[in-house]
Amino acid sequence: MEIVEVKGKVFRKFITREKIDQVVNTLAGRINSDYAGENPLLIGVLNGAFIFAADLIRKMEIPCQISFVKYASYTGTQSSKKVTELIGLNEEIKGRHILVVEDIVDSGITMDHLLKELHKYRPLSVRLACFCLKPDAFVKDFSIDYLGMEIPNDFVVGYGLDYDGYGRNLPEIYKLEN
């Protein structure tokens, strides 16, 4: 499928399943190396990161655990610029290595909020693994330790990314046609 329709909007294939697999394998290899001998807690950011987090953890060869949090900052195709916590963390993170797993960072507002919250609990370290970054939309000042790829500031769906909750199930990533 080169073109898909999601809620009346047309999207064109942008990132293939093969490229996604290559990126996940590369990131998992780096994480396995960097966390050798450790037992990190992965924190996936719902809803978007669940597919990336599942693919990533299956490639990890080190002992680890995973949990999820849920924040909201989007309505439709636009950021509301307001972050709301919908599901919080239940695990003890003090003294642990934390690896946040996110599907996409665009403005960075939600991730900046989450990273600041995590540091309050005094983890041993906090790192970020992110599949996609939109550098042209990024307005915050934090680093992404494990970045899959940079993409233009286009609206995308698939591989966990959605438009009003739809399109997450697409195995490849599609960008909105203008």
pLDDT at 71: 79
Q: Estimate to the nearest angstrom the gap between the alpha carbon of 100 and the chain centroid.
A: 8
Q: Which CATH class is domain 21-154?
A: alpha beta
* pTM of the complete model: 0.91
The tokens for 71 are 């924040």
The mean per-residue pLDDT over the stretch 101-106 comes to 96
37-77: per-residue pLDDT in tens?
999 999 999 999 999 999 999 999 999 999 999 877 655 55
Distance CA 158, CA 173 (A): 5
pLDDT at 78: 54
**Could you state, in order of their start, the residue ranges of all structural domains in the chain?**
21-154
Give the angle subtended at the CA of 152 by the CAs of 146 and 155, to the nearest 5°: 100
pLDDT at 74: 55
120 C-beta neighbours (distance < 10 Å), count: 8
The mean per-residue pLDDT over the stretch 119-131 comes to 97
Is the model's pLDDT at 14 over the cut of 90?
Answer: yes
Distance CA 89, CA 68 (A): 7
Distance CA 108, CA 44 (A): 16
Q: Tell me which of 55, 103, 106, 162 is the catalytic residue.
A: 106
33 pLDDT tier (thresholds 50, 70, 90): very high
Catalytic status, residue 103: no
pLDDT at 27: 98
142-164: per-residue pLDDT in tens?
999 999 999 999 999 999 999 99
Contact indicator for 70, 43 with CB cutoff of 8 Å: no
